[in-house]
Amino acid sequence: MHFQPLATRMNAIPTVARWLFDEWGFRREGNCYETTCERLSAAASADNLPMYLLAVENEIVVGCAALKLREMQIYPEREHWLGNVYVPTEWRGRGVASRLVQAVVGACPRFNVSVLSLQTERADGGLYRKLGWQPVERVRSFGIEVTVMERDLRAAETVSLPKDDCCA
């Protein structure tokens, strides 16, 4: 498995947009699949944030994650966010999400990110708790109760993937 920015694989936008819209995007008033495609196309960059990262196995895109800016308006002080971590059902249970998260964390120094936040519907933090995130609080986002979590990347050694396995 290797990781590459969405910007280097623009033909994956329809697939990624479908995943993100079907999982979360439908909750946003006025959002649709086409708008999600347009948003991803406009945001596709390897050098600026947001940066969408793809997990690729044998030339098949098997997951995505993003390093984003200011995901939740109620937290203007939280600049950098891990978001849109998605692995299709048939690829779950193989460590794809964990490796995607590690790859995004590995890209953080390139963007001078020292603290990374996220939101998850899992009250216990699920996978993110296991990967070093700490819960901050429970809040409502688009009508759903979510746990906001944080990871201080300065506080502990971060897990990095080999350079050829990341998005360097």
126 — alpha (psi -120 to 50), left (phi > 0) or beta?
left
Average pLDDT over residues 82-89: 96
144 pLDDT tier (thresholds 50, 70, 90):
confident
pLDDT at 165 over 50: no
Mean pLDDT across the stretch 147-158? 81
Q: What is the mean pLDDT of the chain?
A: 89
Q: What confidence tier does 136 reach under pLDDT thresholds 50, 70, 90?
A: very high
**Domain residue spans of the chain:** 2-165
Architecture of domain 2-165: 3-Layer(aba) Sandwich (3.40)
Q: What is the pLDDT of residue 73?
A: 87
Model-level pTM greater than 0.75? yes
Q: pLDDT band at 156, cuts 50/70/90?
A: low
Name residues whose C-beta falls within 8 Å of residue 104's C-beta, 6 or more positions apart in sequence.
53, 65, 66, 67, 82, 116
The helix (H) or strand (E) run that includes residue 96 is helix 96-107
Rounded CA gap, 19 and 8, in Å?
Answer: 19
Distance of alpha carbon 127 from the chain centroid: 13
Which pLDDT tens digit goes with each residue over 68-77?
999 888 999 9
Cα–Cα distances (Å) from 77 to 24, 69, 162, in that order, read: 24, 11, 31
